[in-house]
């Protein structure tokens, strides 16, 4: 087969499929429009229940005209309230089938009081009775009384569309919605009835609802000697599941890793008090890693002339004293011109007083 033929064949197939699903949706929409119309008809019927022709009906008029209750005037009043003016589908359907409303109102109402059944289902055939679907109103799987055995929704239920396939409720699966989904078990079951309940949270398969009823443990859980699924403590497993500068937190069914405090070099928990060792520039002070003030060390760390030491977190800086600026690694007096304070600032990113001569960066 030529490629172009294959492509056009595929294209046709897509068109057919699209048209198919479109008409299904259309049927469902038509039915819901019809239901809405009938709903509004019934509301209009109630609204007009206590009305009459309004104003001075004489006995003669009462006799001569049919009573308001069954009159054309009342029908017209009801018909006027069936659709919002903006709803094209609704207005179209009412206009198209106006004579049916008249027929029903004058001739069928007594014998067929259910307008939804008479109009939407039997006359214009856009809906089906509950529990049936599709063009011929076929019965849903499981019967019209309990579609999908009461555990799901039958596609197209109550409309002339759909394919009758069941979409099962949570906990149920299979074409008939009689099987239990994963992590559910059958508490009751026969050919037509199924009740599924959730397993104990630690199991994926079970025969009952308690921890002892597990048949298969969930990921992160394992069976102990008694056959109960218990949480695995991944944090105590070998190899350690987290990275070097992280600590591990166990939880039900899993674990998480978090980055250690920057003051720690390895840790067993959050903050500077759970360090295994201190990062460079920090020392252990009563179990907490604390910054070392390098400027207070007995051996001076800033040794150049006119330098002063500034302590930083985990490190220190050697800056030029005020009145001096850094030049080729040494501190030289600042020129005494007026612009002396501004010029060097536009020179480099660092302002003159923070020019670094020596700096140890903490990693």
Ligand X SMILES: *[C@@H]1O[C@H](CO)[C@@H](O)[C@H](O)[C@H]1NC(C)=O
Q: How far is the CB of 149 from ligand X (least distance, A)?
A: 10
How many whole angstroms separate alpha carbon 258 and alpha carbon 270?
A: 8
146/245 with CB nearer ligand X? 146
Footprint on this chain of ligand X (rule: CB under 6 A):
188, 190-193
Nearest alpha-carbon partner for 248 in 238, 234, 262: 234
Q: How far is the CB of 227 from ligand X (least distance, A)?
A: 29
Listed in sequence order, the residues at least 6 apart from 81 whose beta carbon sits closer than 8 Å to its beta carbon are 40, 43, 44, 47
Q: How far is the CB of 166 from ligand X (least distance, A)?
A: 18
- DSSP output for 131-144: TEETTTTEEPTT-S
| Residues belonging to the chain | 363
188/244 with CB nearer ligand X? 188
At 353, is the secondary structure helix, strand, or coil? helix
Q: How far is the CB of 142 from ligand X (least distance, A)?
A: 12
Q: How far is the CB of 151 from ligand X (least distance, A)?
A: 13
Q: How far is the CB of 193 from ligand X (least distance, A)?
A: 4
CA 141: distance to chain centroid? 30
How many whole angstroms separate alpha carbon 128 and alpha carbon 160?
A: 6
How many whole angstroms separate alpha carbon 226 and alpha carbon 217?
A: 13
Please state, in angstroms and as integers, the Cα–Cα distance from residue 209 to each residue in 183, 186, 187, 213, 356, following that order.
Answer: 10, 10, 9, 6, 69
HSE-CB of 156 using CA atoms within 13 angstroms: 27
162/171 with CB nearer ligand X? 171
Q: Answer yes or no: are the C-beta atoms of 30 and 93 closer than 8 Å.
A: yes
191/226 with CB nearer ligand X? 191
Strand 152-154 and strand 166-168: the pairing is antiparallel
58/190 with CB nearer ligand X? 190
Q: Answer yes or no: are the C-beta atoms of 242 and 257 closer than 8 Å.
A: yes
Partnered with residue 264 across adjacent β-strands are: 278
191/244 with CB nearer ligand X? 191
Q: How far is the CB of 99 from ligand X (least distance, A)?
A: 47
Q: How far is the CB of 150 from ligand X (least distance, A)?
A: 10
106/193 with CB nearer ligand X? 193
142/352 with CB nearer ligand X? 142
- Dihedral angle of Cα 327, 328, 331, 333, to the nearest 10 degrees: -40
Q: How far is the CB of 147 from ligand X (least distance, A)?
A: 16
165/189 with CB nearer ligand X? 189
Buried b (16+ CB within 10 A) or exposed e, 8-39: eeeeeeeeeeeeeeeebeebbebbbbbbbbbe
């Amino acid at each position: 087969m030529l490629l172009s033929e294959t492509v056009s064949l595929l294209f046709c197939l897509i068109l057919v499929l699209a048209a198919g699903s479109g008409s299904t949706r259309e049927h469902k929409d038509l039915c819901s429009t019809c239901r809405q119309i009938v709903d509004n008809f019934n509301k209009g019927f109630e609204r007009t229940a206590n009305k009459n022709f309004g104003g001075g009906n004489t006995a003669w008029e009462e006799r001569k005209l049919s009573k308001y209750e069954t009159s054309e005037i009342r029908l017209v009043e009801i018909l006027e309230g069936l659709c919002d003016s903006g709803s094209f589908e609704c207005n179209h359907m009412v206009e198209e089938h106006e004579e049916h409303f008249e027929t029903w109102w004058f001739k069928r109402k007594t014998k067929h009081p259910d307008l939804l059944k008479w109009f939407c289902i039997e006359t214009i055939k856009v809906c089906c009775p509950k529990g049936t679907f599709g063009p011929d109103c076929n019965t849903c799987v499981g019967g019209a009384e309990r579609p999908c055995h009461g555990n799901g929704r039958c596609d197209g239920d109550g409309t002339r569309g759909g394919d009758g396939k069941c979409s099962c409720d949570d906990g149920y699966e299979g074409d008939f919605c009689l099987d239990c989904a994963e992590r559910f078990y059958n508490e009751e079951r026969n050919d037509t009835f199924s009740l599924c309940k959730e397993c104990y949270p630690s199991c994926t398969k079970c025969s009952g609802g308690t921890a002892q009823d597990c048949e298969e443990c969930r990921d992160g859980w394992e069976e102990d000697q008694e056959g109960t699924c218990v949480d695995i403590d991944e944090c105590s497993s070998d190899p350690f599941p987290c990275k070097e500068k992280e600590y591990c937190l166990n939880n039900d069914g899993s674990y998480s890793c978090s980055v250690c405090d920057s003051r720690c070099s390895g840790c067993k928990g959050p903050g500077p008090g759970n360090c295994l060792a201190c990062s460079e520039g920090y020392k252990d002070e009563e179990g907490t890693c604390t910054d070392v003030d390098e400027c207070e060390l007995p051996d001076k760390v800033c040794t150049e002339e006119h330098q002063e030491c500034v302590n930083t977190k985990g490190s220190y800086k050697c800056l030029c004293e005020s009145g001096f600026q850094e030049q080729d690694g040494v501190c030289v007096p600042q020129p005494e011109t007026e612009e002396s304070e501004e010029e060097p600032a536009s020179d480099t990113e660092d302002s003159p007083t923070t020019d670094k001569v020596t700096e140890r960066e903490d990693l």
